[in-house]
Structure 1
Amino acid sequence: MDFLSGFAIVVILLVIFALVVVFMGVTVVPQGSQFTVERFGRYTRSLAPGLGLILPFVDRIGARLNMMEQVLDIPTQEVITRDNAMVEVDGVLFYQVLDAAKAAYEVRDLERAVQNLAQTNLRTVLGSMDLDNALSNRDDINVRLLHVIDQASTPWGIKVTRVEIKDITPPVDLVEAMARQMKAEREKRAVVLEAEGFRQAEILKAEGEKKSAILEAEGRREAAYRDAEARERLAQAEAKATLDVSEAIAKGDMQSINYFVAQKYVEAMKEIGSARNSKVVLMPMEASALIGSLGGIGSIAKEVFGNNNTGGSSGTRSTGSVPSSE
């Protein structure tokens, strides 16, 4: 019985030992991670997510690496730009482990190494730029930092996917100077725009006056042309009437010349009689004799003078005077 009880104890111990060995040889790797396996201190392989087996007492788990994309803050630091402006800069970096063995054995303290690499290159990139360029060209800074840091960290088995500058903070006095500069620039633009508007208004005003003067000159030219045309037609009519009278006289018709002279005489009398300031009309004896000798012209003259006399006290009087012979 003692022998059986001792054998049972040994079996139980062996079972327990076997369970412990099996437990030590089974490793569960979570999703998004990889474990490195070391045999007697030397790297042999990497365990993918899931159930992994190793040889107990021979193999052991070396490094447990996160294979997901990770975020690393770049601490705030002071940087001197090319134009000797002191600014405070911070940022953020995104990276992902692609090779677990390199990330575990090619560099010690991967996060600290990447952080220091980002800080030094940030100082280098900003130090080669003016302050204005640094403030306005963040995309260019991000691209340059990404290229440099990714190339430098490739031997570590990681991939830098993105680098972003969060804040670039100039000194307070420099910010105030920039604000004054911006204000002066805006005032300059306002003055320039106002002057440009005034110049444009003057140009438009001058063009309007020019067009108005052209139209006015064209109007005067047209009016003068029409007046000249009217005078020309009147002269043609006068010439035609004179020609007709001349032809009638040449044929021996004295009534035509009498009618022509009487018509001109009556028109002149009408103009004299219609004047507002005409009170008395003095006519020579030759004119009265001429009127009497022209047949029907006398009655026309009497009708003209009679019409003017109907106007009340302002009627005209006809008196004949004998011219004195010298």
Structure 2
Amino acid sequence: MLWVIIILLLFLLIFLLSGIRIVPEYERIVILRLGKALKEAKGPGIVLVIPIIDYPIRVDLRERVFEIAEQSCITKDNALIKVDFLIYLRVIDPVLSVISVENLYLATQGLATTTLRAIIGDIILDDVLSKREEINQKLQMRIDEVTQRWGVKVTAVEIREIIPPKEIQEAMTKQMAAERNRRAMITEAEGIRQSEILKAEGEKQSQILRAEGERQAQILRAEGYALALSKIYEVAKNIDPNTIALEYLKALENISNSSSTKIIFPLELSNIISEILSKVKK
């Protein structure tokens, strides 16, 4: 009889221990009691579950990312493109995520695929290639409108790659090559222009410096000539008139001894001779 009691106690202990759940910080437990979900999820920490009566379901609250494989889409201008993107989401209501949708991630993937095709179908190819951020925002907003009913928040949608048709890729390659050539030509022309500007500027500065140097030289020559004249004038003021007359005659003598065939006598010559004769008589 004792052994029976011990065995029953062991079964009771195992039964009670089986109802203890340790829930980490990033998880919650949704309990279905007799098939009906409790209003609030349990956790974190130690959670007591009634064996047989309660059915616990663990829900991860961490943000998760999953990839939407390459999808074929037709743009508004009937261009066939392929797009793949990433969806970031997290559960904000564990109870709704359990009772509102059977397979949360599969449902979100299907919703994202159809939403992407609807959005791309309203946009022309050029805008699809250039307005990626705008498409990301539209995808996130539309997907989130539906997933909120499932207790899920879509935090971000990121288009990873857009593959246009082959002929479009070839045209884009040619366009990029032409653009690079154009920029190279502009850069070369700009370099030549800058070089010519610098050359002209240097020539202008050189001419300015030469003119400035010539001006300074003329000023110095004029100052030297003026100084020489003033010195001559100072000396001439103190010379005796007879000395000046004799120097004048010497100059005439030198002129007469030259090879010139014509000699022009100044009008003052008679006055000078008269002064000299008067001095001799005295």
Q: Same fold (TM over 0.5)?
A: yes
Residue 95 of structure 1 corresponds to: 89
Give the alignment partner of residue 184 of structure 1, picking from 162, 178, 186.
178
Give the alignment partner of residue 261 of structure 1, picking from 238, 243, 249.
249
Alignment map for 1:69-218 (pairs within 5 Å): 69-82=63-76, 84-129=78-123, 131=125, 134-135=128-129, 138-218=132-212
Residue 305 of structure 1 corresponds to: none
Contact 2:32 2:55 in 1 (8 A): yes
Structure 1 unaligned regions, length at least 5? 1-7, 273-280, 285-326
Deviation at 1:89, TM superposition (A): 1.0
Deviation at 1:88, TM superposition (A): 0.9
Distance 1:176 1:67 in 2: 46
Alignment map for 1:267-278 (pairs within 5 Å): none
State the identity as a percent.
33
The answer to which structure, 1 or 2, has the higher relative contact order (CA under 8 A, 6+ apart) is 2
Residue identity in the other structure for 1:145: L
Distance 1:163 1:193 in 2: 39
Residue 49 of structure 2 corresponds to: 53
Distance 2:116 2:248 in 1: 115
Residue 219 of structure 1 corresponds to: 213
Structure 2 unaligned regions, length at least 5? 263-282
Note closer, same or farther for the CA distance 1:140–1:28 as it changes in structure 2 (3 Å cut).
farther
Residue identity in the other structure for 2:162: I
Note closer, same or farther for the CA distance 1:77–1:231 as it changes in structure 2 (3 Å cut).
same
Residue 314 of structure 1 corresponds to: none
Deviation at 1:188, TM superposition (A): 0.8
What's the TM-score once normalised by structure 1's chain length?
Answer: 0.61
Residue aligned with 1:120, SS: helix
Contact 1:33 1:68 in 2 (8 A): no
Residue 36 of structure 1 corresponds to: 31
Contact 2:74 2:120 in 1 (8 A): yes
What's the TM-score once normalised by structure 2's chain length?
Answer: 0.69
Contact 2:33 2:55 in 1 (8 A): yes
* Larger Rg computed on CA atoms: 1
Q: How many residues of Structure 1 are paired with residues of Structure 2 in the alignment?
A: 256
Distance 1:237 1:266 in 2: 26
Contact 2:97 2:152 in 1 (8 A): yes
Note closer, same or farther for the CA distance 1:127–1:266 as it changes in structure 2 (3 Å cut).
farther
Write out per-residue CA displacement over residues 161-199 of structure 1, whole angstroms, 9 at most, x where no aligned residue.
333322222222222221211111111111111111111
Distance 2:54 2:31 in 1: 8
Deviation at 1:125, TM superposition (A): 4.2
Distance 1:171 1:118 in 2: 22
Residue identity in the other structure for 2:31: T
Write out per-residue CA displacement over residues 26-46 of structure 1, whole angstroms, 9 at most, x where no aligned residue.
44546435243142x433455
Distance 1:83 1:195 in 2: 39
Distance 1:184 1:255 in 2: 93
